[in-house]
Amino acid sequence: MSKPPKCLVSSNTQASATLSDVLKRLESELNEFQSALQTPKARAATLATVDQDINAAKRLMFSMFTRRNTLVPIYILHSEIFSRIFHFVALFNRSSSRDWVHVTHVCRHWRQIALDDSTLWTYFSSYPRNKDWIAERLSRARNAPLVIKVDRWLGKDTLSLFIPHISNTRKLHLHNLSSFRPEFVQEVRVQKAPVLESLELGVSNNFPMNSEHGHLFFKGPLPKLRILRVSQIVFPWSLFPRGQLTQLQVILSREVSTVTSKDSQNDDLNQLIDLLINCPALEVLALENCLPAMLCGSSGRQAIHLPRLSRLSLGRSSSRVTNWLKMLKLSSSTTLCLTCTPENTTTHNDYHILPILSEHFNDLDPVEFRRLEVCLDDGDGVMTMVASTYLPIPPVNHTDVIQAHSDTDLCLSFHRVAELNNRVDILRRVCDVLSLSNLEFLFMHFPTSNEFINCGELFRRCTEVTKVKVSGRGTIGLLQALTPPNLANTTAREKLGKRERGDNGRGAQAQASKDDDNDGPIPVHVPIFPKLTFLRLEMLDFTDTRPGSSDLYDLILSAVQRRKMNKTPLTTLCIYNCVINEEQVNALEKLVPDFRWDHDKGDHEDYNEYDDNEESESSSWGDDIRHLDVEWARDGWEHEW
């Protein structure tokens, strides 16, 4: 066993001797104190002496704690590693509105590492709200570029602390801008922001707010600005900065025009075109409800080439979205998120965008989709389709809400399409436009309708599908298409059909060829998705009976049994949030090797047991810690833990 260094042994010996001397002196002086406590003056002097000795003992104990900490294995890590760990801790705590400062209370060494790294103190949000703590953090950040994300919940005096630091701010996000005091907004506007890289401005009003100022924001140029996001504020396109933007997002809740006259509308469109032409480095572009009105009748203008664009989001007038998409030259790998609303609900013009999508995804490098998610909402007349070349991870998610994910290639939504026939027709056309021959995963959400959708005709080309998720009683048509008819009945019907139409059956074949775009007739006894192995059912009532047919349970049972007989069996069946009894579950469980059920029989409701006091308690806990940290910084010493 190795011996400790002589210097360390000597140091510890000296510390022990010093502490021993202090104790001996206190013991020897104790008797003297007893005799000296007869007068108030003597007691005060003695009390001062004792306080001095206590402080000396504390300092000695802290020193011994520090020396002991140097022997702990974790102490040998480099300061850069500690600092990196602290950054991860800070990042993790931001999502829960907690402060990470507790790591600086572990020991003097950790605290000094954190204080030496100014970048650890540069992030500011609406939490914490304590003015003294924010001032302390600004001091610790020194000259490091700041990230400021605040809203109206910070007080006037607290917000004023950030004004002198705008020139040193890297990201500035002002949400609920209309709720800020006008003097604060004005003070921010007149500042210079030479290092600003990201700017977000938004208001919480239901109606977009017109800018009443002559400039977008800030005094002077913004040479490093790369990301600009504007929400619910209408600015003329001529005021937007040109040149270096990589992300531009202008989101309005309602479709508005920044100008009214025809000439001004034309100039407004020209300004938008000029803006994008002068931002060739754009990677993300989102223009929702802000496209100029002149796009309604414009389709022959110059092309706008955006070679680096990876994501495009447009909405919501169908003609404006369609005409704007015609003007953009994009890579086939560009993700599209398109929301279309017809100007006239009686004469739909939503189909006009589909040929453009076909050209986009079938250009030089055709896109082969592997995932398709469809939502038909009866209540709002909205249909949404999400297509991707990537399979979902995990393979089947637990949400019924169709959203554009980070791995999505196309998110296409149509609003105010009240008639189900129109929505189904759009879906059919989309399936024809997109390349779905390699589709492996299909999710269909159709919550309320009693209408029958011929899903066998819609998805007849999708022969590679292995996983299907359905949600809502309107998807029964899809479940019926998964079920092959009884083989004996099918044979009898085929023989009868041959006698009625002749041996060659040319009439039926001609009709089938017409329906299948000359791909040949589809045998009636073959269900769609011959490779299907995984089926997940959600939001269904197994006692639901359709007119002229058996209930849903019999339909699923038949599908499982007949696919097994046809040697296309299901290997996994999941049933979640459905009305089903245990007897039905047991019957299905015997037929499917991997059967999953959430044991929900549909006879109770789920309640949210979230404790409203949890957030307030965590916030008060954080404020206590931050107050303590400010006090320690002010006193100049810290505890050793």
Question: What pLDDT score was predicted for residue 199?
Answer: 94
At residue 570, φ and ψ (nearest 5 deg) are: -80, 135
Angstrom distance (rounded) from CA 559 to CA 556: 5
pLDDT band at 503 (very low <50, low <70, confident <90, very high): very low
At residue 585, φ and ψ (nearest 5 deg) are: -60, -45
Angstrom distance (rounded) from CA 117 to CA 121: 8
Between residues 348 and 134, which one has the greater pLDDT? 134
Of the candidates 141, 133, 155, the residue with the CA atom closest to the CA atom of residue 623: 133
Residue 393 · residue 408 · CB < 8 Å: no
Give tens-digit pLDDT for 41-66.
777 887 888 888 888 888 888 788 77
Overall average pLDDT of the 67-72 stretch? 79
Angstrom distance (rounded) from CA 129 to CA 347: 54
Residue 442 · residue 469 · CB < 8 Å: yes
Which pair of structure tokens corresponds to residue 510? 């001609």
pLDDT band at 157 (very low <50, low <70, confident <90, very high): confident
DSSP H or E stretch at residue 159: helix 156-160
Helix axes 6-35, 40-69, angle to 10 degrees: 160
Average pLDDT for the chain? 77
DSSP H or E stretch at residue 425: helix 420-433
pTM of the complete model: 0.74
Angstrom distance (rounded) from CA 632 to CA 641: 14
Question: What pLDDT score was predicted for residue 257?
Answer: 55
Question: What pLDDT score was predicted for residue 502?
Answer: 45
Residue 462 · residue 522 · CB < 8 Å: no
Least confident span in 87-101, 131-145, 201-215, 265-279: 201-215
3-state SS assignment for residue 229 = strand
Overall average pLDDT of the 577-594 stretch? 92
3-state SS assignment for residue 518 = coil
At residue 534, φ and ψ (nearest 5 deg) are: -125, 125
Question: What pLDDT score was predicted for residue 80?
Answer: 93
Which pair of structure tokens corresponds to residue 384? 């949404």
Residue 246 has pLDDT above 80, yes or no: yes
Residue 608 has pLDDT above 50, yes or no: no
Give tens-digit pLDDT for 547-559.
555 688 988 999 9
* For the ranges 26-30, 464-468, 476-480, the one whose mean pLDDT is highest: 464-468
Question: What pLDDT score was predicted for residue 39?
Answer: 73
Percent of the residues in the chain that have a pLDDT greater than 70, as a whole number: 71
Question: What pLDDT score was predicted for residue 77?
Answer: 86
Overall average pLDDT of the 371-388 stretch? 86
Residue 221 has pLDDT above 80, yes or no: yes
* For the ranges 101-115, 177-191, 483-497, the one whose mean pLDDT is highest: 101-115
Percent of the residues in the chain that have a pLDDT greater than 90, as a whole number: 28
pLDDT band at 591 (very low <50, low <70, confident <90, very high): very high
Question: What pLDDT score was predicted for residue 397?
Answer: 55
Give tens-digit pLDDT for 304-313.
999 999 999 9
At residue 31, φ and ψ (nearest 5 deg) are: -65, -35
Angstrom distance (rounded) from CA 127 to CA 223: 30
At residue 509, φ and ψ (nearest 5 deg) are: -65, -40
pLDDT band at 603 (very low <50, low <70, confident <90, very high): low
Which pair of structure tokens corresponds to residue 424? 């189904």
Which pair of structure tokens corresponds to residue 481? 């298409």
Question: What pLDDT score was predicted for residue 610?
Answer: 36
Of the candidates 128, 136, 162, 160, the residue with the CA atom closest to the CA atom of residue 148: 162
Overall average pLDDT of the 18-37 stretch? 64
* Residue 341 bridge partners (DSSP): 317
Residue 508 has pLDDT above 50, yes or no: no
Give tens-digit pLDDT for 478-489.
888 888 766 545
At residue 70, φ and ψ (nearest 5 deg) are: -65, -15
Which pair of structure tokens corresponds to residue 569? 């069996």
Residue 127 · residue 619 · CB < 8 Å: yes
pLDDT band at 490 (very low <50, low <70, confident <90, very high): very low
Between residues 394 and 222, which one has the greater pLDDT? 222
Question: What pLDDT score was predicted for residue 46?
Answer: 78
Least confident span in 3-12, 157-166, 348-357, 406-415: 3-12
In residues, how long is the chain? 641
Overall average pLDDT of the 417-427 stretch? 82
Residue 117 · residue 93 · CB < 8 Å: no
